[in-house]
Amino acid sequence: MIIVYCICTVVFLFLLYGLIPTVCIRLFSVGIIKKGTTERKGFFLTFDDGPHAVYTPQLLDLLKSYNVPAAFFIVGERAEREPELLKRMSKEGHTVGIHHQTHSNSWFLTPGKLKREISKCAAVIQHATGKKANFYRPPWGRFNLFSLLLSREYQVIMWSSITGDWKAGQGKAKLAAKLKKGLHSGCIYLLHDNGENPGADDVAPSVMLQALRDFLEYARSQGYIGLPLEELKNTNKRG
């Protein structure tokens, strides 16, 4: 009986600390931005989990060829190995935001550890680019009871369109179709330029890059332009 009680207590505390805050924050848009309005007919591209030594340069080349800015939510420990890529992002007009120092799940981080994950990643960005990070997105979009308090100096960015691009099996055509279907002014796309996380496919970014080229051609034909994240006007006021 004591064992059952202990298990139930642990489960309750886990729900209270991680799952319930995540559901409430995302469902009611408390303190986050997941949609917005723009003055121009445009969309926002965001990329998580990088940088990657192979795929991120290819992505930057593609974005440059279409003159499309993007936001990169980087993993600090990966960025420390590729500082030149962060410098290039900044130099070419992209936004560099905080993911975490490691690709860690906020549900399992104490307040102190979460604070360090954010602050260390912010320091990596500052050191590489000379600019202060202004945007934050937690890995997997997961929050805990203290997330909004500890990230209050940043705008917390979620997404309007998620396509499962971390899986390569769906192929270029299906992924491109999803991107086109989600296109509307103010849409925030979530994509990934690194597939090295658990549950992802290592080669998935190569498929994403092919689909993204197709999507950018389509968006241009429809009169849409890629916009910098700084132009996003928040319709979900911080809680």
CATH number of the domain bearing residue 97: 3.20.20.370
Residue 29 vs residues 20, 21, 32, 53, 165: alpha-carbon distances, Å: 13, 11, 6, 34, 24
Identify whether 220 is part of a domain.
yes
Q: Which of the residues are catalytic?
A: 48, 192
Number of separate domains in the chain? 1
Tell me the C-alpha distance between 141 and 31, whole Å: 13
Identify whether 72 is part of a domain.
yes
Q: Given pLDDT bands bounded at 50, 70 and 90, which one contains residue 175? A: very high
Show the tokens assigned to 235.
Answer: 């319709």
The answer to whether 94 and 69 have CB atoms below 8 angstroms apart is: yes
Q: What residue has token string 């996003």? A: 232
Identify whether 203 is part of a domain.
yes
Q: Given pLDDT bands bounded at 50, 70 and 90, which one contains residue 14? A: confident
Q: At residue 11, does pLDDT exceed 70?
A: no
Per-residue pLDDT, 15:
87
Identify whether 239 is part of a domain.
no
Residue 14 CA, chain-centre distance (Å), reads 24
Nearest to 132 by CA among 95, 89, 93, 102: 95
Nearest to 188 by CA among 31, 25, 30, 32: 32
Tell me the C-alpha distance between 39 and 178, whole Å: 24
Per-residue pLDDT, 156:
98
pLDDT averaged over the chain?
93
Residue 178 vs residues 71, 132, 185, 191, 199: alpha-carbon distances, Å: 20, 33, 16, 12, 20
Of 36-40, 79-83, 198-202, give the lowest mean pLDDT range. 36-40
Show the tokens assigned to 207.
Answer: 């498929």
Average of per-residue pLDDT across 51-72? 98
Top-confidence residue, 40 or 213: 213
Element (H, E) at 100: strand 95-100
Per-residue pLDDT, 237:
43
Q: At residue 238, does pLDDT exceed 50?
A: no
Of 76-80, 110-114, 235-239, give the lowest mean pLDDT range. 235-239
The answer to whether 57 and 85 have CB atoms below 8 angstroms apart is: yes
Tell me the C-alpha distance between 45 and 226, whole Å: 7
Does this model's pTM top 0.85? My answer is: yes
The answer to whether 96 and 230 have CB atoms below 8 angstroms apart is: no
Identify whether 189 is part of a domain.
yes
Show the tokens assigned to 86.
Answer: 């962060």
Average of per-residue pLDDT across 200-229? 97
Identify whether 44 is part of a domain.
yes
Identify whether 42 is part of a domain.
yes
The answer to whether 194 and 79 have CB atoms below 8 angstroms apart is: no
Per-residue pLDDT, 38:
80
Average of per-residue pLDDT across 173-184? 97
Q: What residue has token string 């207590």? A: 9
Nearest to 123 by CA among 79, 69, 166, 93: 79
Q: Which structural domain range is residue 102 located in?
A: 2-234
